[in-house]
């Protein structure tokens, strides 16, 4: 069994700088010529996009609610096998999971044997961080706390107080990231912005400079060397090749895609990407159209102006083509989308519904989706709402077992809903069989279906 540096970047709470430090570390290690494999705890699909840009290798989600323990081990071992270093960004606070610590970054670190480096926001603290560090070291017995990196440090003098606090708490200190104007990542809808105007490369290099300047990377890497792939797990049963051609929307408006979902689609056949913003037609001969989530609300004029693509999607769907659409992809299938400022833009008109951003209100959380006697898992995250009436082909529950009203629509061969589904261990084509059965139930219950 080989050993290599493996790091999970955790924090005491959200907003402490996990993402900034992670991106700087990924880029700094890449600039040293190391092959760095990034991972992300939880369902976030935006952090993984930025990891990929910073590291030059595609990031992978590790989510204990949507994936089994064996599958998580298989993903980590498989994608990290040829890397020199594995860096995993945690989610929320280190112990915050979907049910207490269950599903937390700490639980993932314990499952995979990854040493934890805690990022502590020190902008309003000095020696007082000592009991915080002492608490994490002694409360989280199931993890190995390798050390701490302080974020938003005001000066060398400030850092000396923090360094002493870490030493007195018995926690190794690897250095700090200085409080610097221009290294705060702009946020949008609680997610990192994908604006073309945000110069990510320059940002990533700037943070990497700060990390390299004040973090002892050699000491950090050495402290986090542990055996790799200690608990092998069998991969999910491969899907039978179907010879399909699968068209996946991917551009600035549609890009919330789990890497393993695409890998699973490739087992069914050829995956081809296209842009609803730029292309005038769907890829020829497609057997399945996948419209993932994203930020269509920020590209309403361009999406609506591309009438050729809207007509192509409508004709494909109404002609019986199979369509799987999630969140932003579902909004694109509606008659129209109303922007935050009230303007209404025609969309594909596949679903007799209207999506609106007016009066935005966040809905988010894990979802257990049951339809036709089958269970799927995923995550809901959106500010928009749907206006119109179509029965749901499924019932959904949150992580604690409370039923939620989120629908999953079935219209012809179209399956669409707000929930971002994960099918790394299942067959996405089963959604069409399951929702067909669920739609029949919904039609009987509601007295209408079309």
Q: Which residues are catalytic?
A: 327
Q: Residue 11: which of 96, 94, 89 has the closest Cα?
A: 94
CA distance 277 to 296: 10
Query: Three-state secondary structure along 237-258?
Result: CCCCCCCEEEEEECCCCEEECC
- Locate all alpha helices (DSSP H) within 389-449, ordered by sequence: 430-446
CA distance 44 to 149: 23
Residues contacting 291, CB < 8 A, separation 6+ = 249, 254, 276, 313, 323, 324, 325, 326, 328, 329, 330, 332, 333
Q: Residue 331: which of 364, 365, 359, 354 has the closest Cα?
A: 354
CA distance 150 to 308: 52
In sign, the C-alpha dihedral spanning 19, 21, 26, 31 is positive
Q: Residue 89: which of 9, 204, 185 has the closest Cα?
A: 9
Whether the CB-CB separation of 241 and 269 falls below 8 Å is answered with yes
Query: Which token pair is 276?
Result: 């609803």
Residue 58 burial (10 A CB sphere; 0-12, 13-18, 19+): middle
Residues contacting 80, CB < 8 A, separation 6+ = 6, 37, 39, 86, 228, 229
Whether the CB-CB separation of 297 and 340 falls below 8 Å is answered with yes
Whether the CB-CB separation of 282 and 312 falls below 8 Å is answered with yes
Tracing tokens 């049951």 back to the chain, one arrives at 370
Q: How many helices (H) and strands (E) does the chain have?
A: 13, 27
């Amino acid at each position: 069994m080989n050993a290599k540096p493996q790091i999970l970047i955790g924090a005491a709470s959200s907003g402490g700088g996990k993402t900034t430090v992670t991106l700087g570390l990924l880029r700094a290690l890449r600039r040293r010529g190391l092959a760095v494999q990034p991972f992300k705890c939880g369902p976030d699909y935006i952090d993984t996009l930025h990891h990929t840009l910073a590291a030059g290798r595609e990031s992978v989600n590790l989510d204990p609610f949507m994936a089994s323990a064996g599958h998580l081990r298989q993903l980590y071992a498989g994608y990290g096998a040829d890397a020199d270093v594995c860096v995993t960004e945690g989610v929320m606070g280190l112990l915050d999971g979907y049910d207490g610590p269950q599903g937390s970054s700490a639980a993932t670190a314990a499952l995979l044997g990854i040493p934890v480096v805690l990022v502590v926001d020190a902008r309003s603290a000095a020696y007082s961080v000592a009991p915080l560090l002492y608490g994490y070291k002694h409360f989280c017995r199931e993890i190995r706390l390798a050390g701490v990196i302080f974020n938003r440090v005001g000066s060398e003098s400030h850092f000396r107080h923090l360094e002493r606090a870490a030493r007195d708490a018995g926690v190794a200190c690897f250095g700090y990231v200085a409080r610097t104007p221009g290294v705060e990542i702009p946020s949008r809808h609680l997610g990192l912005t994908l604006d073309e105007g945000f110069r990510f490369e320059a940002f990533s290099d700037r943070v990497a400079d700060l990390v390299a300047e004040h973090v002892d990377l050699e000491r950090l890497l050495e402290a986090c060397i542990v055996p790799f792939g200690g608990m092998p797990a069998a991969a999910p049963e491969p899907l039978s090749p179907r010879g399909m051609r699968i068209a996946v929307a991917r551009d600035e408006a549609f890009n919330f895609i789990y890497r393993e979902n695409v890998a699973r689609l490739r087992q069914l056949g050829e995956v081809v990407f296209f842009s609803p913003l730029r292309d005038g037609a769907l890829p020829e001969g497609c057997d399945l159209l996948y419209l993932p989530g994203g930020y269509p609300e920020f590209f309403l004029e361009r999406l609506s102006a591309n009438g050729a693509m809207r007509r192509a999607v409508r004709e494909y769907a109404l002609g019986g083509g199979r369509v799987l659409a999630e969140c932003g992809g579902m909004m694109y299938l509606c008659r129209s989308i109303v922007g935050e400022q009230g303007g209404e833009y025609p969309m594909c008109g596949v679903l007799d519904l209207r999506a609106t951003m007016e009066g935005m209100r966040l809905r988010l959380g894990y979802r257990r989706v049951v339809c036709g006697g089958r269970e799927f898992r995923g995550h809901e995250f959106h500010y928009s709402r749907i206006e119109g009436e179509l029965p749901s082909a499924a019932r959904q529950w949150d992580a604690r077992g409370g039923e939620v009203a989120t629908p999953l629509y079935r219209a012809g061969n179209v399956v669409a809903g707000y929930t971002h589904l994960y099918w790394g261990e299942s067959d996405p084509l089963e959604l069409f069989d399951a929702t067909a059965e669920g739609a029949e139930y919904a039609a009987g219950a509601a007295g209408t279906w079309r």
